[in-house]
Amino acid sequence: MSSVQASSVCGSLRWWLHLCTLPWVAVLLRVVLGGVFVFAGFSKLLLPHAEVVAHMQQYQVLPGWLVSITATFLPWIEVGSGTALLVGFCTTPAALLIGGQLLGFSALMGMVLAAGIPLADCGCFGNLGLPETPLQVLIRDLLMLVLLLPILYRQRDALGLDAWSSAPASYEA
């Protein structure tokens, strides 16, 4: 790598690290990522359970008994963790839970791509007309994983419910 390329990479990394420290960036990313998860979860909850199961069966990766359980609980986990992140309640645990989901979704898409399983639509957003290929989903999920970093770095911000817990518990007279 030439010195010009190396300085460009270092400059980009410094810019990204500086961006991670800005409070408004964490708030914006918290709202966007939390909103995506709330939207994805509700889009699945609006579908009949059998349709969500059918979306998950197309991956051909999970055993049959696990598909139904996942189809039952995953939308609620998405809505719960997304809402917590959206309002800034238990921000770090919510961000870690969303990070775990994103890692799981990324691994699933990696397996689908490696196995060559043809998917017309991942079903990530129910039947809302947002079809995505496994490669698009993998790229989106990895990008969202990177966007969690400023949230984890900041942990609290003035517009989140977590900030209320940093106030003094009581005043002595």
Instruction: Delimit the domains of the chain by residue range.
Output: 12-161
Q: What is the mean pLDDT of residues 18-30?
A: 77
**Residue 167, Cα to own-chain centre: how many angstroms?**
29
- Rounded CA-CA distance 95/75 in Å is 16
- What does the pLDDT read at residue 103? 96
Q: What is the mean pLDDT of residues 65-73?
A: 90
For 99, residues 6+ apart whose C-beta sits below 8 A from its C-beta are 145, 148, 152
- Rounded CA-CA distance 15/11 in Å is 6
- What does the pLDDT read at residue 62? 82
More confident residue, 86 or 60: 86
169: confidence class by pLDDT, cuts 50, 70, 90 = very low
Q: What is the mean pLDDT of residues 103-110?
A: 93
Contact criterion met (CB below 8 Å) for 147 and 27: no
**Nearest Cα to 43, choosing from 65, 66, 69, 74?**
74
For 9, residues 6+ apart whose C-beta sits below 8 A from its C-beta are 1
- What does the pLDDT read at residue 165? 61
The phi and psi torsions of 85 (rounded to 5 degrees) equal -70, -40
Residue 155 pLDDT exceeds 50 = yes
Alpha-carbon distances, residue 52 vs 36, 125, 173 (angstroms): 18, 10, 58
- Rounded CA-CA distance 43/130 in Å is 11
- What does the pLDDT read at residue 26? 81
